Structure 1
C-alpha cells in the first residue's frame, strides 16, 4: 500500500455558484501530513528504502519536509530536514513532531538545499522537494484518482512553486489520455518564477522571494516544468498575496478547511472577480494542495503586514 491516501473529489457548490462553472476540488489538504507532497515523496522514500538507503535528507520550505519526515517515520528510517529561515514556526514544529532532525539554514530554499547536499553520504538518499521523476509519477496519482472517479473536468488548476505538482499533473493527464486539457498554473507576485520564465522564453532565477506564499518559494522552476510549459497547454496566472490570503479565508468559510497561501493562490483563480484565469473553461479541477504550514494567527499576521492596496476586497 502507498503511504498516501486517496482523497475526496467534490463539486464545490459555493465556487460553482460564484463562477457559473462546475468547479471540482481535489482535496489533497487531507493527506496525513497535510499536503499533496506525500504522493510523490512517499513513492521516492519507498523506492530509496528498497534500494537500501538507511537515512533520508531533504530541503524544504515546509510541506515537503513534513512529508519526508512522515514517510521516514512510517518506514522506520531517520530523516534530516533543512529549512530556510522563512519557514514558519508551525511548519518547523510539525517536522520535529514527526521525529525528524530539523536544521534551519539560509534565507531561501536554495541556501537550505545547498546545506542539505553537504549532509549526504553513501547510506543517505536525498529526497528532492520537487525535481525528481519519482515525485512526478507519484503526484500523477492525483489525476488517476480523479479519472477513476468518473469526474468530467476540462482543465486543471494548480499552484506552482518548483513545478513538481504541475509536472505530475501533466504526466497524469497524458497517461490517462487527457493530454489535450489545459493546465492553469497560479503563482503569487514575488514567487512567480514560472510565469517570468515563460515570458522570457528561458528559465529565470528570481533574485529573492517576495511573497508570503513561502511554499512557492523556489527562485527557479525545474527544467521539467519549464519544458512542459512549452509543450503543453499551460496558462500562467499570477495573483497578489492579498488575493491568496483572501481565498484562504473564504475557502475556510465555504469548506471548513484551512489551507496556506500557496494553496490559496490556486483557489484565488476561482475566487477572483470574474475569474479571468478560468475564461473559456467550464469545469475546472482545482487541486487543493493544502499545506500545514499556516495557522489562523499566521494568516492574520500576514494580512496585517500587507499594505492596504495589496488586500483587495473580493466581492
Structure 2
C-alpha cells in the first residue's frame, strides 16, 4: 500500500457558480501530512529504504519536509529536515511532532539545501523537494485518480514552486491521453521562476523570493518543468499575494478547508475569473494544500498585503 491516500475529487458548486463554468477540485489538502507532496515523497522514501537507506535527509521550507518526516515515521527510519530561517514556527512544530530532527540553516532554501547535502553519509538518502523523477512519478498518481473517476477536464490549474507538481501532473496527463489539455501554471509575482524561465527560454535564478507564499519559494524552477512548458500547452499566470490570500479565505467559507497561500495562488485564478480560463468550460484545480499556515496567519498576511 502506498503511503499517500486517494483524495476526494469534488465538483465545487460555489466556484462553478462564481466562475460560470464547471470547476472540479482535487483535494490534495486531505493527504495525511496536508499536501500532495506525500505522493512523490512517499514513493521516493519507500524506494530508498527498500534499497537499504537507514536515514532520510531533506531540505524543505515545510511541506516536502513534512512528507519526508511522515514517511520516515511510517517506515521506521530516522529523518533529518533542514529548513531555512523563513520557515514558519508552525512548520517546525509539525516536523518535530512527526519525530524529525529539524535543523534551521540559511536565509533561503538554497542555503538549507547545501547544508542538507553536507550531512549525507553512505547509508543516507537525500529526498529532494521537487527535482527528482521518483517524485514526478508519484505525483502523477493524482491524475490517474481523476482519470479513473471518469473526469476529463478542458484545462488543469495548479500552483508552481520548484516545478515538481507540474512535472508530475504533466506526466500523469500524458499517460492518460490528456497531452493536449492545457496546464495553467500559477505563481505569485514574488516567486515567478517558471514565468521568467518561459520568457527567457532557459531556467533563470531569481535574485530573491518576495512573497508570503514561501512554499513556492524556489529561486530556480527545475529543468524538466521548463521542458514540459516547451513540449505541451502550458500557460503561465501570475497573481498577487493578496489575491492568493483572499482565495484561501474564500475556500474556507466555500469548502471548510484551510490551505496555504501557495495553494491559494491556483484558486485565485478561478475566484478572480482570470482571462486564462475564458476558453474552458470544465476546469480541474489541484488544491495542493499545505499544512504550515493557520487561519490567523492568513488573515494577518492578507491585511498586510492589501492594496494601499
Distance in structure 2 (CA, Å) of the matches to 1:232 and 1:87: 34
Aligned position for 1:105: 105
1:293 aligns with 2:292: yes
User: Secondary structure of the equivalent of 2:237?
Assistant: strand
Is the 1:19–1:275 Cα contact (8 Å) retained in structure 2?
no
Q: TM-score under structure 1 normalisation?
A: 0.97
d(CA) in 1 for partners of 2:88, 2:39 = 23
Q: Does 1:83 align with 2:83?
A: yes
Give 2:283's aligned residue. 284
The Cα shift of 1:307 comes to: 4.9
Deviations 1:70-102 (A, max 9, x none): 000000010000011111111111111000000
**Counterpart in the other structure of 1:133:** 133
Question: Which structure 1 residue ranges, 4+ long, deviate > 3 Å from structure 2?
Answer: none
Within the alignment, does 1:58 sit opposite 2:46 as a pair? no
1:143-154 to 2 correspondence within 5 Å? Answer: 143-154=143-154
1:305 aligns with 2:301: no
1:190 aligns with 2:190: yes
Separation in structure 2 between the aligned mates of residue 194 and residue 213 of structure 1, nearest angstrom: 15
- Residues 186, 238 of structure 1: 8 Å contact kept: yes
Mapping of 1:38-49 within 5 angstroms?
Answer: 38-49=38-49
> How far did 1:302 drift?
1.3
Q: CA deviation at 1:306?
A: 2.2
The separation in 1 between residues aligned to 2:152 and 2:137, in whole angstroms, is 22
Shift of 1:152: 3.0
What residue in structure 2 maps to residue 178 of structure 1?
178
Q: Is the 8 A contact 1:55 1:78 kept in 2?
A: yes
Task: Give the count of matched residue pairs.
Answer: 308
CA contact (8 A) 1:155 1:183 kept: yes
Cα deviation for residue 196 of structure 1 reads 1.0
Which ranges in structure 2 are unaligned for 5 or more consecutive residues?
Answer: none
TM-score (norm 2): 0.99
Distance 1:59 1:140 in 2: 22
Aligned to 1:260: 260
Give me the whole-angstrom Cα distance separating, in 2, the residues matched to 1:291 and 1:246: 16
C-alpha distance in 2 between matches for 1:20 and 1:306: 28
2: CA distance, partners of 1:138 / 1:160? 17
Q: CA offsets per residue over residues 237-275 of structure 1, 9 Å max, x none?
A: 000000000000000000000000000000001011x32
Distance 1:58 1:30 in 2: 22
1:139-288 equivalent positions in 2, closer than 5 A: 139-272=139-272, 274-288=273-287
- Partner of 2:152, secondary structure, is coil
Q: Is the 8 A contact 2:242 2:306 kept in 1?
A: no
What secondary structure is seen at the aligned counterpart in 2 of 1:115?
A: helix
Distance in 1 of aligned mates of 2:114 and 2:244: 29
Equivalent-residue separation in structure 2 for 1:131 and 1:241 (angstroms): 25
Q: Give the superposed CA RMSD.
A: 0.8
Change (3 A) 1:177 1:307: closer
